[in-house]
Structure 1
Amino acid sequence: MKITIMMKSYKFSMEVATQEPILEIKKKIQHFLNIPINSQTLTVFDWELIDGLDLSDYPLISDATIIHLSTKSTQTTPAKTKITVKFSARKIEIDVDRTTDTLRSLKEKIHIVDGTSIKRMALFFNGSEMEDDFRSLGEYGIEEGSEIVVFMKTAGRGGDHHYPAARRVGLVVQTAASLMNGARVPVEMNDTSRVDEMRRLLVERGILVAGDEYIFIHKQRIMREDCSLRWHGVENADFVYVFKGTVSRGEY
């Protein structure tokens, strides 16, 4: 079939197989436009096409589909950068310096912008709690566009702090057309449950196959299997999409 690659005001068409790997399409674009593969981002209807999948994993793609191409710089990330700080029901953006700002100064900036108590903040990045107040943000691996998740500790006896108790969330797991003919499965779990626990539940229910590789996506972002539903911001009635394959980019 033929697809159209569109980049700003420029577009061109190419012939592809119905099961062509996304990575192969990027290789063709690199050949045609001399754009490095690791600088390319391909999207359809705001869904990013993942290197570990192929066209057949995206049922919306058919003959004459327009795929949007955007590029990103491969230069070294500057020290000055903008990050997103995510709370349970809101997000804010904060400018930081990766070399001079520390976890402590980041908490102070969040307090100034949002009024959140510094003592009650627990900040998480890439699924792990940031605990060293004097370690620079660059040492944590934070870069432009990174997302910091804020959990609010609740005061217990003796002034100790505890994380909010787990709560049940009801979500819908939507599989790709190649899995169970695109099954839509209601799932109820604690929001502290990890994605790999949800995978095991789906295997037990016969929706997924033990030992196979799968990609879980929530709100157009790949989910980390070692992180909780709460960490990913999953709420009641949210959809989680499952595709068969692996992530070959080495990042989330």
Structure 2
Amino acid sequence: MKIIIVMKDCEVSLDVAFQEPILEIKSKLRSCLGIPESSQTLTVCDWELIDGLDLSDYPFISEGTKINLFIKHISPNSLEDNQIKVTVKFSTRKIEVSVDKYDTIKSLKEKIHIVDGTPIKRMTLFFCGLEMDDDFRNLSEYGIQEYSEIIVFLKTMTRIMVEPPANILGVVIQTSSCLMNAAKIPVETIDTSRVGDVRRMLLEKGILPVDEYIFIHKQRIMREDCSLRWHGVENGDYIYVFKGSVSRSTGGY
């Protein structure tokens, strides 16, 4: 299919595959425009496209979709060298994640969640035998370098169940500016509510018209049968809503 890359002064038509990686699209743009991948930021409806995902992770992108290209101008003395890849090792698999040396541990968990879908609250990260603190230290303080290996231990469901059964959660439902009339709608619910429950609540209250919708949190498509807590939704977070449906399985745990 064709997509349209929109820049400040021109537009470029690009042939892409439905499941083409975002990084591969950036590589094509480097070949035809000479812009390094690290200097490119691609967005649709103010939604940044993440390198670790592919076009099929954004169901609202189709034939003829216009994607904005913003160019970051990097000086020789910039922090570009802070961009590294780390290996994240689970018990049965490994993935690579692009990070900044000064990312916090919490930020790293969010990136792992975007690329892999693992719930943030289930992750405990270790490097060189040390548990990595979420809030107070960044990757550079642990000596993380290119291709350092970070171990992920997943908390069991039993450990998660000792948490309070439900917490009041205030979130903002953000509808798409290109698919619906853009609106920011504060909603109060509980963190054990499933995504399907939230969708039904919005329909019953007339906040959304009857239609099919995709819910996205932290650039990851949310699963209808999984709770907001499972997705790592916290008080004040934004949940984005787009018209459409996902054909592949979205069953939860």
Q: Normalising by structure 2, what TM-score? A: 0.49
Greater fraction helix: 2
- Based on CA coordinates, which of the two structures has the bigger radius of gyration? 1
